[in-house]
Homo-oligomer: A and B are copies of this chain.
Amino acid sequence: MGKNRLESFSDGVIAVAITLLVLGIGVPKDSTHLASDLGHHWPEYAAYVISFLTIGIIWINHHAMISRLREADHTILILNLLLLMTIAVLPFATELVATYRHQAVAAAVYSGCFMLMAIVFSLLNRRVLIVRADLLAETLPLEQRRQIFHRAATGVVPYVLATALAFVSTYLTLGMCAALALYYATPLASGRRA
């Protein structure tokens, strides 16, 4: 399959998922003190911003990966589909953690989705860079391909940690997810990645 339609379909799913996040922010019912009622929902807004940024960053990374491809084989299509699944499920996980931020399970599910996303992204990168390097748009030396792959693969580690820490403190987990989103959004991370 040519990469154009893979790209446009992935963009579509990511764009819908990132926009559906808003359905997790509910309008308070029968509120008489709207300011304080909205204030009490701050975890919804925080979770919204973290998820929005994280999906946005995965979209940027996804684009970088696809742009290296010339065409895709069946395994790449299926791995990409699994990646999209871990992204499409985030509106649920985000609403879950916003509703139950004090329960370890909710934070673990939330961070666990990011972890799965990072794992599938690594598998995809491995397929593209190491296993089927013949599908790359331009030939890269093995050394450089390994380097790109390892950098992406290390991205899994903090999410594994964040997920495990949910059973120590949910705020620690959410703080790590927020910090990772902010870190990747800065030019610093961009520089490291370039």
Contact = CB atoms under 8 A, between A and B. Distances in A.
B19 A52 contact: no
Nearest to A64: B1
Given A74-B190, A81-B56, A19 B22 contact: no
A137 B49 CA distance: 32
A193 B187 CA distance: 32
- Interface SS of chain A: helix, strand, loop or mixed? helix
A153 interface: no
Nearest to A78: B185
**Chain A, interface residues (CB within 8 Å), range:** 35 or more
Contact of A9 (B5, B14, B74, B190): B14
A27 B95 contact: yes
A69 to B, nearest CB: 13
A16 interface: yes
A13 B15 contact: yes
A78 B193 CA distance: 15
Nearest to A31: B100
A20 interface: yes
B105 A81 contact: no
Interface string A83-113: 0110011011001100110010110010000
B106 A187 contact: no
Interface in A1-30: 1-2, 5, 7-9, 11-23, 25, 27
A33 to B, nearest CB: 9
A140 interface: no
7 contacts: A1-B60, A1-B67, A20-B22, A23-B23, A31-B103, A60-B74, A78-B185
